[in-house]
Amino acid sequence: MKVLHTGTLDVNAGGPAMSTYYTLYGLQQLGVDAEIIMYPLSPTGKLRGEKVPVHFAKAPLEHKLAYSPVLKKEISALGEYDIYHAQGIWQYPTYALVDVARKKGKPYIITPRGMLYPQDIRKSNKFFKELSLKYRLLDDLNRAACVQVTCKDEMEHCRNLGVTSPIAIIPNPIEIKDYTEKKKDNIFRLGYLGRLSPRKNVESLIYAFYELKDLSKDAELLIIGGGDDKYEEFLKSEVKRLNLNNVRFTGFLSGKEKDEAIASISVLAMPSEFENLGNVILEGLIRRIPCIATKGSPWEELNIYQCGWWIDYNQKSITETVKKALELDYDHLRLMGEHGHKLIVDKYSVETIADSMFRLYHAILNENLESLDFCYLTK
């Protein structure tokens, strides 16, 4: 079986690059010729890994929509594939891949990657996105062999927009491995990991530390990541305004620096307005770090597995939960971390997710999607 993906494996793309890479790698281990065509790396970028075949297309002429007049020809020139799989929407590579698949009479899958959440549609270029849905994208989605999402909430958002094609729920994978980096001190450290942008609601952690300043005076808030420069300046100005001296920004980290920073964290928090999954929770739990996630994300399992807190999206809940975490002793946090590691091994390993994707591809080619318990044919 041969499958071609569009998307990116550039580490600067964050979670999408990580999950795409591990999915392709897992499929390779199952004997699938899983490949990706992508634009050249960003000036500071590098590949997430070296174990999957990558075809580099020519750089786009226009970067906002990632348009290239030769991309369709480049995709077609790669030869024949059984299935085409588009990672993400709104940008030209998805439309190009769909057009090539249709021309060749082959099935295609679209993975929206959270981009059809109403909050995401509203946050930028709303007029363009609505026009795209009306005149092109919704038709592409409804003619797809399947739309792949990561959780039930994302499926419901797709259905509410009028998506009628089959929808498969397959979460993102994480590599199961032992991390050699260990926590080197006894400081309670609340961590944020990820892109800095307003919908990530990172300021709520700063406000929680301020409201709990007596309890958190010997603790530290560590903010790992870069992104929106204006938003980062806002966060730093709030730290200064509140006169907090125990909040630290690392900027974007990768490799050993990133692993060492994560290892220093006692509890990882993802206070986002919404997430279709939130790969940072996977990164925390695999390292045995308890996590906090808001109910804009699908992480009820944090409560079920007793490895963290899945809480309401408001400042009161976030502050109260940070307080609970600060009051826990080391042994309790360690036990929660072990529970979280078990959750990841049970449900989110590369092998488990790749097997689900493999079964999805086979079901599409054999026209028996109804045989999959994670695929929903109708609303």
Domains of the chain: 2-173+350-376 (3.40.50.2000), 189-347 (3.40.50.2000)
Across 97-101, 213-217, 234-238, least confident range: 213-217
Q: How confident is the model at residue 63 (pLDDT cuts 50, 70, 90)?
A: confident
Give the residue-averaged pLDDT of 55-76.
94
Element (H, E) at 335: helix 330-347
Mean pLDDT of the chain: 95
Nearest CA to 53 out of 32, 76, 73, 74 is that of 32
Pairwise CA distance, residues 204 & 134, whole Å: 36
Tell me the angle at which helices 203-211 and 229-241 cross, rounded to the nearest 10 degrees. 10
Task: Label residue 334 by pLDDT band (50, 70, 90).
Answer: very high
Average of pLDDT values for 279-296? 95
pLDDT given at position 362: 98
Q: For residue range 17-28, list pLDDT tens digits in order.
A: 999 999 999 999
> In the structure, what pLDDT confidence band is assigned to residue 125 with cuts at 50, 70 and 90?
confident
pLDDT value of residue 158: 96
Q: Say if CB 10 and CB 42 are below 8 A apart.
A: yes
Segment 247-257 mean pLDDT: 92
3-state secondary structure string, 147-195? Answer: EEECCHHHHHHHHHCCCCCCEEECCCCECCCCCCCCCCCCCCEEEEECC
The radius of gyration of the chain from alpha carbons, rounded to an integer in Å, stands at 21
Report field, pTM of the whole predicted structure over 0.85? yes
> Is a pLDDT exceeding 90 seen at residue 67?
yes
Position 379 confidence tier, pLDDT thresholds 50, 70, 90: low
Residue pLDDT, tens place only, 254-273: 889 999 999 999 999 999 99
Give percent of the chain above pLDDT 90: 87
**In the prediction, which pLDDT does 44 show?**
87
Give the pLDDT confidence score for residue 80 in this predicted structure.
96
pLDDT bracket for residue 38 (50, 70, 90): very high
What integer pLDDT is reported at residue 254 of this predicted model?
A: 85
Q: What confidence tens digit (pLDDT) does each residue in 145-200 have? A: 999 999 999 999 999 999 999 999 999 999 998 887 888 899 999 999 999 999 99
pLDDT at 255: 86
